[in-house]
A = this chain, B = another copy of it.
Amino acid sequence: MKLSKTSEYALRILGFMINSEKQVFTARYLVTYLHIPDKYLRRLMTDLARNGFIKSIQGREGGYVFAKNATTIHLSEIIDAVEGMDKYTGCLLGLNNCSDDSPCSLHYAYAPIRNQVLNLLDTLTLADLKSLKIKRF
């Protein structure tokens, strides 16, 4: 699989938030816990807010809160928002016309496994990240 670093960051941030008692999270706070480059995280937070996952509270005492219930945020939606899912749905050999009807030599061996990953990301929500029990983030 290997997501982009930006997707990894996004999942780690939102996963961290859902597993915390806190309600409001400042960028500074997230940076100290998640070890993501400060300015990069800030830009990503703005992006996640634009995409409706979180809401930003400006000014002093501000920060970020979830904009909707975590049970409604699917992991694939997060990835799709920050880098797009297209590259993960494609052929392992990079052929753009590879399909069940016109399979590449790896298609029948690979497609079922690929679909398991896609189903997992489509099915799991941020809330699941909580109930699955986090050991560390």
Footprint of B on A, CB under 8 Å?
1-3, 5, 8-9, 11-12, 15, 19, 87-88, 90, 92-95, 97-98, 102-106, 108-110, 113-114, 116-117, 120, 124, 129-130, 132-137
Chain copies in the assembly?
2
Interface of chain A, main secondary structure: loop
CB<8 Å pairs between A and B, sample of 21: A1-B92, A1-B110, A2-B87, A2-B88, A3-B92, A8-B92, A8-B93, A11-B92, A11-B93, A11-B106, A97-B136, A98-B136, A103-B135, A104-B134, A104-B136, A109-B124, A109-B132, A110-B117, A110-B120, A113-B116, A114-B117
With A and B bound together, what is the CA distance between A106 and B18 in angstroms?
Answer: 14
Instruction: Enumerate chain B residues within 8 angstroms of A97, measured Cβ to Cβ.
Output: 136
Instruction: Enumerate chain B residues within 8 angstroms of A103, measured Cβ to Cβ.
Output: 135
A12 nearest CB neighbor, chain B only: B93
Instruction: Enumerate chain B residues within 8 angstroms of A132, measured Cβ to Cβ.
Output: 105-106, 108-109
